[in-house]
Chains A and B, each alone.
Chain A
Amino acid sequence: MSLLQIEPTSWLFALSSLGPTVVLVLSALAVLAIDSLSPDARSNTRLAATAAAGTLIALGITVWYLLAGTGQPATGGAISLFSGAIVVDGMGLFFTAIFTSVAALVVVASYDYLEDDANPAAFYSLLLFATTAMSLMAVANSLATVFISLEMASLPSYALVAYLKTNRGSVEAGLKYFLIGAVSAAVFAFGISLVYAATGSLLLPDIATAIGDVTDLAGILGVGILMVAGGFLFKTASVPFHFWAPEAYEGAPAPVSAFLSSASKAAGFAVAFRVFAEAFMPALDVAVDWGLLFGILAVVTMVLGNFAAATQTNVKRMLAYSSIGHAGYALIGLAAVTAGAGANNATVMGAAMAHLLVYGFMNTGAFLFIAMIERWGVGRTFEDYAGIGRKAPMASMAMAVFMFSLAGLPLFGGFFSKYFLFLGAINAGFWWLAAVGAVTSALSLYYYSRVVKALWLEEPTGNLDALDSKPTGLYAAVIVAGVITVLLLPGFGPVIETAEAAAAAVFA
């Protein structure tokens, strides 16, 4: 037995299987190249076009793969690469589709946001690198790749949050994000080391196999699993690793907030789903009932996020807390997983995946709307938003769509995703999770509708002349996100079916 188990991998096949990731890397490099070749040129347009093209091509490839059945049971199942350290399957592609969609929206929106920026290339490349790392997170099949890709995603994110170097809020946000992130990374790494200590492997399927033999190291494994969970909780902004989120989302440039709260959160769930579903399922009976753990955390996260959001005065911060609340909903997807109930697990996890996809659009749209407001320089509080609906009806209407969809009104995609999540939970016997989810959703309607109220119901208080400028990219991104959010209600079928099929494949 060799010390490193190596299976020969065709590089070409690997590259094509990881097509989206490759495209993202290349476009990131292209952005850097453009900037290096003409460092003094105001090349925002070119950079944005490159970045947007990269993300859209990556998205296109992902969707194509999804439709073509790459890595899915239809074409022979998951594609295992690099000795099983990476697995391209439906779930990975599904999440990659989320990341690339969000990234594309954010890139398009950033075009306007960075109009006056001195060095947009750094922004785009950081964004693309983070997206690249996320696409890797979605396919990581070993705790090693999980850790590395997760850190690769985090590091550009820290920089992006603190991107506005001279803005105290941005720097403070970056600092807090970084510090909590560093601690979480350390906890995560320590957890991985403990899991390794108990099982002797980092490959997820091997860990699952090894857990059956763990006897006296069960405690070590348990601590390890809890700490690994901590790493994911950080990434998904769930209690108790959520502390960075309100400040990071509030202080960061709004497109970055959009990116982090949608794509980064989804990425955290992507790895969490895979790791817990593939590696730690047997641990449910042996070491730690992590279903219960996530159940408790889901409840606390839903309650904290939604209640704290209720009385915010700053819209962005409200959205930040709501984002925490939504992490709580998605956690149901992990909490309701039970040993040996494959179909149900697939239902609930698929619902969580679908929720993250819908959330990706509606939440990104919401933050991009805030980016638009920031661009106009109107202000950040609810009062400042008063009467914007009069001056910017299209964008405000889109924002209303996002808010109602986030609240789970059955008019838009957000309803079905949340509903199927609760349905899965109830089916799995976790009716109390669904109940808490329902109650907090009801509360969320209050604070989401406050935004709508400010936009549409209030009379303008301040000077809204700035709204005369129409940032095209931001508008386009917001409207596209809005339209997709609306269309996801009638068109939810393919989404949920894909998600459930992908989840089922993971549990199979």
Chain B
Amino acid sequence: MVTAFDYVPAIVLLPFVSFVVALFIGKQLPKKGAYGGIAATAGSLLLSLWVLASVAGGGAHQETYWTWAEGVGSQPFTLEFGALIDPLSALMLVIVTLIATLVHVFSLGYMNDEGERDLPRYYAGLGLFTASMLGFVIADNLLMAFMFFELVGLCSFLLIGFHFREPGPPSAAKKAFLVTRFGDYFLLVGVVAVFATFGTAAFAGAESFPALAEGALDGTVDVWTPGGLDTMTWFTVVGLLVLGGVIGKSAQFPLHTWLPDAMEGPTPVSALIHAATMVAAGVYLVARMYGFYALTPTTLGIIALVGGFTALFAATMGLVKEELKQVLAYSTISQYGYMMLALGSGGYVAAVFHLTTHAFFKALLFLGAGSVIIAMHHNENMWDMGGLKNKMPVTYWTFLAGSLALAGIFPFAGFWSKDEILYEALIHAGSEPLLFAGYAMGLLAVPVTAFYTFRMVFLTFHGNARSEIARNPEPVRWNVKGPLSVLGALAVVTGGINMVPVQKVLGIEGIDYLHLWLDNHWGGIEGLSSHHYAEIDPYSSTYPFGTEVATVLAGAAISLALAVAGLLLAWKLYNVAEPVEHTDKLGGAKTLLYNNYYQDEFQVWLADRTRGVSGGADTFDQGVVDGVVNGVSSVSLFGGDRIKRIQTGVVGNYALLLTVSLTALLVVFALLGGWF
């Protein structure tokens, strides 16, 4: 019988085919490969929905497609490609394919209609990007995940640097790849360590590495550790190594610096990167192997701390940005910080929830921004905008929906997911002080987020137009408005998939669909359920506001109040006809924020130092290492030059030397032989 699962490879391969098609015959195609891309991603979307339905129907699937390499003797590692279709990956497949499809459609408006050149390369890049991400999502083992993770990085390089004729994009692309590569280095060490430790990198099953790790901690399984290290310590190290890759890809502090620069890429690409693919990959990876992370409290604590810190840190930088996409970029970093906080706090479902809602509203915001950019003839400076509300209502309303979601205003999608994250952090903070720090920072980031979001909204859409272009913006077409509408709707309603607070407060059972979904309620794979994770994670719940319901309500109230406060401040400052910059009021902090806490400078300084060291190494190499080589040859030749001087050319000297040598030999051998 043919099931949806038979078509899982097709989900990945369709966009790949579109990549190949666009690459080789894109020039000959109408719209330079766009239709192919749309068809492929839409096809993938349909198949993903079918898969989702099948999973909902009680199915789950794991299959190996291709054995990449296989050990035979003492290292019997099996390196293979396979699919792991469980509730998590099925959900993620839908998200990715949906966003990808919409981005493709939007690109018709943003790229084709704008007369960009090299479109086949663009669509090829999109196709490959989507395919890589989908491959990553279905990966059934860490190695495969890593491989597609890297391909995602490659695609981000290609797409961020799409406008390679300008100086900025190639530089940004390089930075994106390099910084994430730095994180991936740790991930790769982690992958290798996982293989060395467990002999497998499978995510699921009794012989998967999370299961083996659990067994090892229980003392039922023997695993290798380097130098006889304690298993817990070693697992923590491995977890942190893998986390390195996550921090890089998900743009967490301190490897977040590539992401704002990545705004050099075309806006639809930004949407894809930020909402559903590259940045999401990091968080998804942690969720994918959550069974492993849940075992090591230290790792979880660090994840939470990094997440909370990043959420706040990035949000503050978003406060002062003048360019639309820059604000969105920092908001992305910040939002992924929340997801990390959730994961670190044991809020596996909360993280996936936020991943989902964020995918929709961030894609929406980026596409909306893209729409504005089209209108503004690629001027992104918000101070040149203003008053676009009436000129482009579809964009405005959808953008507003997205902004409300981002700011976490009830009842938009973002509110629900962010609230659940903070709630999880709060109730678990009792057992882990790091969580409390994470929670505090996450909470502080809420008003900041609301403020910068609405500063952006007001500056862009409200007030009077501040430039000629803003007064006569270019109209956008269906292919822009369509995706915006779809996403706008989703941004409003997605919160509905996981009404945990409502369930808890009102006691209505069964509306926490996502919880049920991820808990294998309808089906899934043993050991990959949120339930299982909750069992093995080190946290116990405490309710600082007395009962559970009280805590839920109080937590939600606090975060909502803070968000509203931020919104109102933005309203007050920027929802005026002629807004002015208020950033000067920040004093010294302004420069700090403008310069992103000098993170870039620090990394540039690091890079310069590295180049300095490499220059020194080069000098050393040329001077000393090679100098010795040349020195040996020079000394030999000099020696030869000296030796040949005994051949003076005067035959009398020869006779003399000959006699002297012969006499010397006679004397030596006379002494040796004892002749006389």
Contacts and interface: CB of A to CB of B under 8 A. Distances in A.
Physical contact A–B (CB less than 8 Å): yes
Interface of A: 175-176, 179-180, 183-184, 187, 218-219, 222-223, 226-227, 230, 239-241, 243-244, 246-247, 287-289, 292-293, 303-304, 306-312, 321, 443, 446
B651 A226 contact: no
B214 to A, nearest CB: 61
A230 B659 CA distance: 10
Contact of B657 (A240, A287, A312): A240
Counting contact residues on chain B (CB < 8 A from A), the size range is: 20 to 34
A187 B662 contact: yes
Contacts of B675: 218-219, 222-223, 287
A289 B654 contact: no
B179 to A, nearest CB: 47
Contacts of A183: 655, 658
A445 B662 CA distance: 31
B670 interface: yes
Nearest to A180: B654
A288 B654 contact: no
B654 A176 contact: yes
Contacts of A246: 647
B614 interface: no
B643 A307 contact: yes
Top 7 A-B residue pairs of the complex, sorted by shortest distance between their CB atoms: A219-B675, A240-B661, A243-B654, A310-B640, A308-B644, A307-B640, A307-B643
B649 interface: yes
Contacts of A293: 665, 669
B226 to A, nearest CB: 43
Interface in B646-676: 647, 649, 651, 654-655, 657-658, 661-662, 665-666, 669-670, 672-673, 675-676
Contacts of B116: none
Contacts of A230: 662
Given A219-B676, A308-B644, A288 B657 contact: no
Interface stretch (B435-443, B484-492, B631-639): B631-639
B581 interface: no
B641 interface: yes
B655 A240 contact: no
Given A247-B649, A310-B640, A446-B633, 5 more contacts: A219-B673, A222-B669, A289-B672, A310-B636, A321-B644
Contacts of A218: 673, 675
Given A222-B675, A288-B669, A308 B658 contact: no
B661 A308 contact: no
Contacts of B637: 310-311
Interface in B473-489: none
Interface of B: 633, 636-637, 639-641, 643-644, 647, 649, 651, 654-655, 657-658, 661-662, 665-666, 669-670, 672-673, 675-676
Given A219-B676, A310-B636, A311-B640, A180 B666 contact: no
Contacts of B676: 219
Nearest to B672: A289
Contacts of B661: 239-240
A35 B633 CA distance: 53
Contacts of A306: 640
Contacts of B651: 175-176, 179-180, 243
Contact of A180 (B643, B658, B672): B658
A451 B644 CA distance: 19
Q: In terms of DSSP, what is the predominant structure of the interface of chain A?
A: helix
Nearest to A304: B643
Contacts of A310: 636-637, 640-641
A226 B654 contact: no
Contacts of B657: 240, 243
A289 B665 CA distance: 12
Contacts of B647: 243, 246-247, 308
Contact of B673 (A179, A287, A311): A287
A446 B655 CA distance: 31
Contacts of B644: 307-308, 311-312, 321
Nearest to A442: B636
Given A180-B654, A230-B662, A219 B640 contact: no
A492 B38 CA distance: 73
B666 A244 contact: no
B636 A226 contact: no
A48 to B, nearest CB: 33
B590 to A, nearest CB: 65
A175 B650 CA distance: 11
A243 B658 contact: yes
Contact of B655 (A180, A287, A443): A180
A223 B666 contact: yes
B665 A226 contact: yes
A230 B670 CA distance: 16
A81 to B, nearest CB: 34
Contacts of B639: 307
